[in-house]
Structure 1
Amino acid sequence: MNTRPPAILFMGDLVIVARQLRLITEAHRRGYAPLLVVTPHTDPARLAELRADPEHPLSLLADVVEVADAKVDYVVPGIQPLLRRYDVRAVLCVGDFFVEPVGVVGDLLGVPGAGMAASRISRNKLLQRTAMADLSPAFEVVTPADRTGPVGEGLSFPVVVKPVARFSSLGVRQVKAREDLPSVLATYPDDETVLVESRVVGPEFSVEALTQNGEVLWSGVTAKQTNESGGIFFTEMGHTSPAPIPDADRAALIAANTTALKRIGFRDGISHAEFRLSENGPVLMEIATRLPGDAITFLWHLATGEPLEPVMIDLALGEPTSYPEPRRRAAQVYLEHPYGTLRDVTSTGSPVSWVSRDEIWPVFTPQAADAAPADHAVLVTVVPGDVLGPQTDSEARSASVVFDLPLDEAVEPLAKQYADTVTITVEGGGS
């Protein structure tokens, strides 16, 4: 007789788990022991402090295991004590690092999930390009040994250089002229393989999808704004869900995403793919078998009126589920900031949430479909004392505003209006 308590195993470090705390509370509400696997990126003293606070959702965690690295060879041995003590019914990835081990462990335990192959492919851009060449831009693989030879001779410029196994726009660079490519390639570590891709012209979108038993149950298209027009970087500076685009474009993006999910063999869970919409149709930038980053899950909550986390739990447990279509539009806009040592972030509008300092995100409350536009939060992802500089990647951003509005109203005027309520002050009096 199995006397072990039923459990749901989450894998993710504190910085990301703190964003999706509803996963922990939802597992507990359903009678499952929430378990968590972290790496040394999580401060054990801080995690212990939060678990000891009865007011914090992390106090609901039944057990925590730290592994040396978010790799299969560390995770599988590390979770053995949990498997002996608990009857693990579901495994969920929270964030990028644990995508592959979550897929492997799910298959090993025979529970619903992305699957080993899909999880592995989604962590490596070269595998994605190889599996979906027809959805990809023209590209060339450059190993460290290839850097001394001719590179990119068959590609049109400008090109984009992308590390094969990084994420969050880390290391992604635009190169406008062929003669500049060798010096850019020389900036990458000696053991890193990169892709050199022809630059795809067109707006960028992400497609979030919910899939069960290999069939897509729901898809949503999010418009992205980046800072690429001002330099060589591709940092995401805003998201709008659902994207304000024609139905034909939305249908084309969803169809391309559905094809990509089928191609990698994705079975169960939430996925997040990024596309450029070129004049010839959608072009896949990358696909990930995990929840989206930034505040996108909350944007869909505000847009549809329903949170995503309970559906994620349903999919992980293999239970029938559904998710509604959007009735409003929601947006997150990252702010330009002055350079210097951060002193404070203040707002004359919605409250400021220091999500990286306090390890908790605000509660978002959906509005009626026809309600007036509303700002919901100012999210600060740095802490006082951090040095603010160029926003070269996602980790270099500082603050954003989250708001929602009726589907028939324009986002841009409100983005400026709500951004103007925020003041970012750095050492020396800048703001």
Structure 2
Amino acid sequence: MRAPAFLFLGDLVIVARQARLITEARRRGYAPLLVVTPHTDPARLAELRADPSHPLSQLADVVEVPDATVDAVMPGIQPLLRRYDVQGTMCIGDLFVEPTGVVADVLGLPGAGSGASRISRNKLLQRTALPEYSPDWRVVTPAERADVDPAEISFPVVVKPIGRFSSLGVYQVDDGERLAEVLAGYPADEIVLIESRVVGPEFSVESLVQHGKVFWNAVTAKETNESSGSFFTEMGHTCPAELAVSDEDLLFAANAEVLRRLDFRDGIAHAEFRISEGRAVLMEVAVRVPGGGITFLWHLATGEPLEPVMLDLALGQPADYPAPRRRARQVYLDHPHGVLVDVTSTSAPVSWVERDDRYPAMAPVAANAPAGARAVFVTQQPGAVLGAQTDGEQRSGSVLFDVPFGSPAEPLAEWFAGEVTVHVVSER
């Protein structure tokens, strides 16, 4: 008699952030299983599993596969399928999106669908499938890099790899000389896109979908550091965004059509758009748990965690989720350059989430409660060298706070960020 189980796919750094999924699956009577790649340190994972106070101690079984591909995952999970009755599966993070979609399909389980999963991990497929929501673009294979003629390009442009995430390898380019330099810097086998630079505010739409129907969606405002350089690192999120109803409707309509065209069936989706010249322009769509602190923000905003409803969707159970009743915000911190020594805060507890592989449990407050900071996340190890925040992996930390509706969040962002100090020493 095989025990009922739930199969999660994702490496430690992301799984630790969404550990409530593990504890919720165990609470419901499912053995939580985890598939990781060599990016996860097996000794560290074993240490956490042996700590009864850590959520990952509730994992029933772990399998390491050599790569987050269908061809690596399918043989790797066969021992788990023989020992357990897997009744649901979910990708945590970006790497396993495609194999998770395939696994759900071959096991006859609810999921995003193989096609949607494949398309969401490849920006070239997204551009080809959704041209009317795309900026002007062209694809450049490794063999074509030396033949790109700057005279045929209207600058500025954005150059991005088709399969990376966290803004890794994404650059704004303003002239032909810089374009040649950027193209030459990519690995020899990497395909990239050259896209027109879309000017306008950026948002993400988080959607909960069951049987192909969106039953809950909401807009997150996104801030980047693009105004101070050539990078597009996310430096802030606000849930829900403060925007006109007409803009919200524009985003919802575009998002619904994107998900319909992808034939997205069950789960949570995270689609990023810019509003430019009266249209919603798709930056990318991901059929997975949103990154950063967005799940924590929606918990603070709605008063209910997202993880239980995500499990409902993956198990094919009836699901719903409330509308937001507060506004929550995450602000990534500016930091001095140097070796990280400490992070202190006068307004919220500091959690070294990268060092401890543990995120704090934040309790939502009443809808009309005063504004307050709820947590500071440090996403680097002590001793890390802090420099320019060129992508998501170079950020040092963030502060999360929430406010009642009717109170402006923007002025408080600077205030709460100013309550946090990142301490460094000069690099030797």
Match of 2:186 in 1: 188
Number of matched pairs: 427
Aligned counterpart for 1:30 among listed residues 28, 31, 34: 28
Aligned counterpart for 1:159 among listed residues 137, 157, 160: 157
Q: How many Å separate the matches in 1 of 2:404 and 2:182?
A: 44
Aligned counterpart for 1:54 among listed residues 52, 55, 59: 52
Match of 1:125 in 2: 123
Q: How many Å separate the matches in 2 of 1:192 and 1:52?
A: 40
Q: How many Å separate the matches in 1 of 2:212 and 2:109?
A: 14
SS at match of 1:141: strand
CA shift for structure 1 position 153 = 4.8
Aligned counterpart for 2:137 among listed residues 136, 139, 149: 139
Q: Check conservation: 1:138, 1:155, Cα contact below 8 A.
A: no
Q: How many Å separate the matches in 2 of 1:66 and 1:398?
A: 29
Letter in 1 for 2:130: M
Q: What residue ranges of structure 1 are gaps of 5+ in the alignment? A: none
Partner deviation per Cα, 1:67-119 (whole Å, 9 max, x = no partner): 11111111100000000000000010000110011000000100000011000
Q: Check conservation: 2:210, 2:266, Cα contact below 8 A.
A: yes
2:296 matches 1:319 = no
Match of 1:255 in 2: 253
Aligned counterpart for 2:344 among listed residues 343, 346, 353: 346
Q: How many Å separate the matches in 2 of 1:183 and 1:94?
A: 34
Q: How many Å separate the matches in 2 of 1:145 and 1:407?
A: 53
Letter in 1 for 2:136: A
Q: Check conservation: 2:293, 2:330, Cα contact below 8 A.
A: yes
Q: Check conservation: 2:327, 2:405, Cα contact below 8 A.
A: yes
Partner deviation per Cα, 1:181-212 (whole Å, 9 max, x = no partner): 11221111111110000000100001100001
Structure 2 counterparts to residues 81-230 of structure 1, below 5 A: 81-151=79-149, 153-230=151-228
SS at match of 1:426: strand
CA shift for structure 1 position 11 = 0.4
CA shift for structure 1 position 51 = 0.8
Match of 2:299 in 1: 301
Partner deviation per Cα, 1:384-421 (whole Å, 9 max, x = no partner): 11100000000000010000001211112111111111
Q: How many Å separate the matches in 2 of 1:421 and 1:8?
A: 41
Match of 1:408 in 2: 406
Q: How many Å separate the matches in 1 of 2:193 and 2:150?
A: 10
Q: How many Å separate the matches in 1 of 2:59 and 2:190?
A: 37
Match of 1:372 in 2: 370
Letter in 1 for 2:288: R
CA shift for structure 1 position 234 = 0.3
Q: How many Å separate the matches in 1 of 2:22 and 2:45?
A: 14
CA shift for structure 1 position 306 = 0.6
Match of 2:385 in 1: 387
- TM-score normalized by the length of structure 1: 0.98
Q: Check conservation: 1:142, 1:151, Cα contact below 8 A.
A: no
Q: Structure 1 vs Structure 2: percent identity of aligned residues? A: 67
Letter in 2 for 1:395: E
SS at match of 2:18: helix
CA shift for structure 1 position 155 = 4.0
Structure 2 counterparts to residues 271-286 of structure 1, below 5 A: 271-286=269-284
CA shift for structure 1 position 179 = 3.9
Q: Check conservation: 1:139, 1:155, Cα contact below 8 A.
A: no
Q: How many Å separate the matches in 1 of 2:319 and 2:40?
A: 32
Letter in 2 for 1:349: S
| RMSD of aligned alpha carbons | 1.0
2:73 matches 1:75 = yes
Partner deviation per Cα, 1:234-286 (whole Å, 9 max, x = no partner): 00000000000011111111111111011111100001111011013100000
Letter in 1 for 2:322: P
Letter in 2 for 1:86: Y
Q: Check conservation: 1:14, 1:38, Cα contact below 8 A.
A: yes
Q: How many Å separate the matches in 1 of 2:240 and 2:154?
A: 33
CA shift for structure 1 position 349 = 1.4
Match of 2:236 in 1: 238
Q: 1:231 to 1:78 in 2, by over 3 A?
A: same
Q: How many Å separate the matches in 2 of 1:364 and 1:221?
A: 21
SS at match of 2:16: helix
Q: Check conservation: 1:147, 1:185, Cα contact below 8 A.
A: yes
Q: Check conservation: 1:23, 1:313, Cα contact below 8 A.
A: yes
Q: How many Å separate the matches in 2 of 1:150 and 1:51?
A: 51
Q: Check conservation: 2:150, 2:175, Cα contact below 8 A.
A: no
Q: Check conservation: 1:152, 1:196, Cα contact below 8 A.
A: no
Q: What residue ranges of structure 2 are gaps of 5+ in the alignment? A: none
Letter in 1 for 2:374: H
SS at match of 1:19: coil
Match of 1:10 in 2: 8
* Greater shift in the superposed pair: 392-401 or 173-182: 173-182
Match of 1:63 in 2: 61
Q: How many Å separate the matches in 2 of 1:153 and 1:106?
A: 47
SS at match of 2:19: helix
